[in-house]
Amino acid sequence: MGVYIKLKKSDFENKVLLVGLPGMGRVGYVTANYLVEKLGGTLVGEVYSIYFPSHLEVDDRGLCTLFTGRIYDIKKALVFTADAQPQSPEGQNLLSKKVVESLVKRGVKLVVAAAAYVVPTVDQTRRVYVVGTDQKTVEMFTSIGALKLRGGTISGMNGVIIGWSKYFGIPGVVLLGETWAPLVEVDEVDFRAAKHIIELLAKFLGISIGVEELDKYAAHVEQRVVAAMAKMMGRKEETEKVGYRDREVM
């Protein structure tokens, strides 16, 4: 029906599914792929869909593939990511439904998605908000540092997939990292927002994962955007004027 899932395993009993697809600031995408890279994720599933962009990706060896979703096993959890989201609300809902349905049948017990919470002004300590399908699950994350999101709407697959987890009878939450609006406006990556979500997920999973290199990536991006905005506004070095509260971007 437009979504095709190939799984290499038939049993994911009591696993948590972590979700991160491209969205605003690529926060969810960076979160998911960083976990896979640093924890040595094993590819256990591929997701094909007619709702992905109609592109053929070609690598430097001359080999090609359709846009696909990927499911990895990082031992303490599964990770679902892709290089693009479906381009329509219908596609986003159908893909979310099929992924959750398939993995719930194989034992997944909880879905946790990562996304962006775009704000005009930030500093280096980014808050992480949580919204979930039930009070108990929300409080599980507020107890380790997340703040409850009170009102609003979450767009895209990184949000709607949690609604489908509730439909199939398992809890789910979205973790939203504060994301600096100017980065989103110029289509840059907010590595710092992803870093804070990863730190929270590490607490939740009881694992250790280094995030220092994300600070370095974030510093380069933030300095570039601050400089460009200051130049555009004609105010050299006035970073507080462009919404970044710390003059020394670390």
What pLDDT, on a 0 to 100 scale, did the predictor assign at position 157? 96
Q: In which residue are the tokens 């200051």 written?
A: 230
Q: In which residue are the tokens 């460009």 written?
A: 228
| Confidence band for 249, pLDDT divided at 50, 70 and 90 | very low
- Rounded to 5 degrees, what are φ and ψ at 62? 85, 10
Residue spans of beta strands (DSSP E) within 120-204:
128-132, 147-148, 172-180
What is the longest distance spanned by two Cα atoms in the chain? 59
How many CA atoms are closer than 13 Å to the CA of 184, on its beta-carbon side?
18
- Rounded to 5 degrees, what are φ and ψ at 168? -90, 15
What pLDDT, on a 0 to 100 scale, did the predictor assign at position 181? 94
pTM of the entire predicted model: 0.91
Whether the per-residue pLDDT at 233 is higher than 80: the answer is: no
Residue 100 vs residue 152, higher pLDDT: 100
Closest of 83, 104, 218, 102 to residue 157, by C-alpha: 83
Domain residue extents for the chain = 3-209
| Architecture, CATH, for domain 3-209 | 3-Layer(aba) Sandwich (3.40)
Give the span between the Cα atoms of 81 and 41, in whole angstroms.
Answer: 12
